[in-house]
Amino acid sequence: ISSDLTQCYDDEETPPPDPKTLCPYCDTPLPAKPTHILKKLLDRTYFQSCSNPRPGNRLGRKAPSAIFGVVCQRHIFESNVLPQAKERGWPTQINWATLKDRVLHMERELAKILADPGDPVVYRGDGKEDNDAKEQQGSKPERSDGPRMRCLFWDDLVKRVKTQGSKGLRNITSQYYNFHKMQPGYYGELGLVIIQRALCGMFPLEDIDPGLVKPLTPMEFIQSIFVPEVGMRLVMADFGLNVNNWSDKEQAVEVLRDSASYGVAMFPYEESTGK
């Protein structure tokens, strides 16, 4: 409460803000440390706008809303969302140069997940795979606790298929699910592209035995199992979590999902294609 009061009195006594610290379009304060993305947007729109001094912002500028809208959206994001992200321990800078190698280092662990067919029940999901399922069932019992079933994302798929049948499977491959569950959290779109490229290098789609990824296609397996698996492992390394501990994994997945929207806004792909 006291800080609110201080704020209140401050507002009445403080001099008008330095126009250099204000958004030239909407006159609200810009973040103290704008990211290079915001700076680039400000530079770009500068040349698409014209000077429009006004009381309260002598450096004010005028432009069609289609042009300045992106700037305002961005600085509002950086002012409001960035501090929250920092508070939650989500990075505001990522060492992109090392990301590919970090993913490539996961090859052995990922290959184990791919090679282990896991719980055979999932293959009966659409009722057409009975023959295959019988074949699968004939093999080793440790499949229920092998690398595949210890993959939280595959485990989730198995549970969905078991309880919802092919509807559960459709949900998993749907767009909505894709956005919220397949984004690699705060690694954002740029992270997604780097992860996907590294995965396709390690596991070319044509080399994936379709029988090992059923009921998914090899592409769906990469997108909906491996991309989030890699994202989870990256987050676990960032947060010092233990990859062999189930509840640590769940904690990392929560971070992935909570930070997905932040990641997309913070590290868009297009803005960074020059890198």
Nearest to Zn ion of 72, 121 (CB atom): 72
Residue 27 CB, nearest distance to Zn ion (Å)? 7
Least CB distance from residue 250 to Zn ion, whole Å? 39
DSSP-derived secondary structure letter, 222: I
Residue 2 CB-density burial (10 A; 0-12 exposed, 13-18 middle, 19+ buried): exposed
Q: How far is CA 2 from CA 9, 26, 66, 105, 173, in A?
A: 11, 29, 40, 51, 50
Count of other CB atoms within 10 angstroms of residue 262: 21
Dihedral angle, C-alpha 181, 212, 111, 198, nearest 10 °: -50
Q: Judged by CB, which is closer to Zn ion: 48, or 137?
A: 48
Helices (H), the chain: 2-13, 36-46, 65-87, 96-104, 107-115, 130-137, 152-164, 166-173, 175-182, 188-202, 210-213, 218-221, 227-239, 246-258, 260-266
User: Among residues 25 and 262, whose Cβ is nearest to Zn ion?
Assistant: 25
157-189 core/surface letters (b: 16 or more CB in 10 A; e: else): bbebbeeeeeebbeebbeeeeeeebbbbbbbbb
25: which 2 tokens?
């379009």
CB of 52 to Zn ion, least distance (A): 13
Cα distance between residue 263 and residue 260, in whole Å: 5
Minimal distance, residue 73 CB to Zn ion, in Å:
8
If the CB atoms of residues 31 and 184 are measured against Zn ion, the closer one turns out to be 31
Q: Nearest approach, Cβ of 50 to Zn ion (angstroms)?
A: 16
Is the CB of 29 or the CB of 83 nearer to Zn ion? 29
- Shortest approach of Zn ion to residue 55 CB, angstroms? 17
Tokens 């659409």 map to which residue?
126
* Distance of closest approach, residue 65 Cβ to Zn ion, in angstroms: 11
- The residue among 41 and 195 lying less far from Zn ion, judged by its C-beta, is 41
- 72 vs 193, which CB is nearer to Zn ion? 72
CB of 199 within 8 A of CB of 103?
yes
Given the rule CB under 5 A, which residues bind Zn ion?
A: 23, 25-26, 72
